[in-house]
Structure 1
Amino acid sequence: MLDGIVNAIAVVGRTVVVGGSFGEVSDAARTTVYARDNLFAYDLVTGQVLPDFAPSVTGPVYGLVAGDRDTVYVGGAFHGVNNRGSRALARLRLADGALVPGFAPRIGGGMVTALARQGPRLYVGGDFVSPRTALAGLDAETGTPDAGFDIEPGTPLTTQVKVYSLAVAGRRLAVDGSFTTLDGHSRPQLGLIDVGGRTARVAAWRTDVYARRCSPNFPSYVRGLDFSPDGSYFAVVTTGGARGGICDTAARFETYAKGTAIRPTWVNATGGDSLYAVAVTGSAVYVGGHQRWLDNPQGRDSAGPGAVPRPGIGAIHPRTGKALSWNPTRERGIGVKAFYAHGSGLLVGSDTTRLGREYHARIGMFPLP
């Protein structure tokens, strides 16, 4: 990518789909420049840009998730795709970038920031107002609202309810964002929804750690989240400012804990730098943002006792919560906004061009152990 920022990554077979805010990309050899409107795809093995996948997307892309039959769902702040009305959410064919007929989700009043899919259900988060407020379950084929999913975030921490991130594993859908309730139940900025039955319901799982205030500039501060491969736990990353506590941290939570004041299993603090993205594998919790350190609970925009340098990207031990020795570094910039872990490696998307001490323009991949 030659400009802009990566906000989302999805892998469909051996195709990598990249969304964000940008206008030009090049292939791995940097010999050919392609005009691309906020969305492009390339071959995972060869690095070649897919020449026939060149949809015109009229605004930034924030969410991507793989669909069936070589398709991809695209969410963002756009008003159309390929000069056709397709507000905020679309399903596209990888073969030619065309809209998939029959998918008509009718998102209105805002943007889509997060997507998660499980079988025939597509979960959508953002700051839209229809077909529901900020969070919707849709039929993955047609885009019509799922009659069994009517859970609504409420009582915003800011002027507007917004879902920042979604992840689904087994019977649980994890949701975070600018809200204090889910379906009327107190769930400050984070909650779990049981999606294992015909009717979704808020799970008996609540933590109050994100009810605490961070900097006044960040009335809501949760950002990325991801489940472990077996779904037994999940990790959440935050921004918030150098205030200590749960601000500017990564934290692990147990998925099937029950209670009204669940505590994180561990918390790893940057000491004042934002984390935006997280990916959990069997051996590590990968975190990205524009952080300078990990293991830094006493730092206040400084390296406190025990802090370890991890500029822009790092890995945390899933059990101990301490930084692993893996330290490839990256040019910090705004920060990592997108991870995608898969069998071949960890894809990393950001706004800068130096990753692992090499040139990788805004997207690159590390092998996984």
Structure 2
Amino acid sequence: MTAATWAEVPKGSPFPLQNLPYGVFTPAGDTRARVGVAIGAHVLDVAAVLGDDTFAHGALNPFLAQGRARWTAVRAELTALLTDARHRAAVTPHLHPLDAVTLHLPFEVADYVDFYASEHHAANVGRMFRPGAEPLTPQWKHLPIGYHGRAGTVVASGTPVVRPCGQKKPGAAGELPGFGPSARLDIEAEVGFVVGTGSALGTPVGTDAFAEHVFGVCLVNDWSARDVQAWEYVPLGPFLAKSFATSVSPWIVPLEALEAARVTPPERAHALRPYLRETEDWGLDLRLEVRLNGQPVSRPPFSAMYWTGAQMLAHMTVNGASLRTGDLYASGTVSGPEPGERGCLMELTWGGEEPLKLADGTSRAFLEDGDEVTITATAPGADGTVIGFGEVTGKILPAVAGGRS
């Protein structure tokens, strides 16, 4: 059993001692961003309590680059400070109320890759787009499908999302493509993995090295313009339909906090190439919740994902592609087998044919201006605790007027 903390942690808090997620914050009345860990209803200034300038930055990257041994050592130091009452007087002045600080994007994103790792999501999309055919494409169960996104448009939770404009499929053969604000703006509830230590170009990273390179886990909303996507994605895949904004939660939960959440992934229906075989299970029992304008509309289970974070990492580097500190790769839409477990509006409304009924009497096929989407998640933690991930949220603003068509 882990020793109890002397810090105040309200019952049911998503940030117990067993969590200690990392973020970047600015205290009230200050302008200097620095690294903190969440504990109960407070954030602890790590640079101040450890006397280490590694954490006196507006990004986690200097700490991420130090590697697994250092990550483990700092976690142990912070746990000791928060459990030994002899440190209480010295540490307490550096605890800031969470509701009084400003949270920022927690790390500088080096590269961003988005996967398509949910069998249930991929099968639903296949049934919508290819009725009467096999829902999954032939390669789907042999490799984690993904695409490279745009690191420069990964934004902090709470950043408004401007409705994107783009080309759309022509109404008839011979017509010019349509152009204008997306009318089928969607969300994708995802889980992200944050790379700490890099790798050499030309050297693949195996599944067994997952925990040596990946620091922790966050929540991601990969906003998607489905009408733009439908016109552009053949033959090279998503581009402008995805690159306008990807929101990330402010807290990165360390892998050490998720040991109790590790589960065996779903049974594989196909034999895997050796580089994708895991020597230990890295499925994670994360339970997401999607809220639209405050109303829960979906509860996707990450434990149902076909491909694990370790397999995604191995596939991403099997060709010799290097990793860099601050790389982010996301799971793709998290969906489960039940209708209420689908992680995007395209699935929840079946392509807009079955709009969601909201409590205020309105309905939604896709997002409208002014809509706000919030994604949260929990996981089982050590000692029977619940590990929280905070939330990733974004509000839709109207498209910018005056753009050339």
Q: Judging by fraction of residues, say which structure has more strand.
A: 1
Q: Does 1 or 2 have the higher relative contact order (CA < 8 Å, sep 6+)?
A: 2
> What TM-score, normalized by structure 1, do the two folds share?
0.31
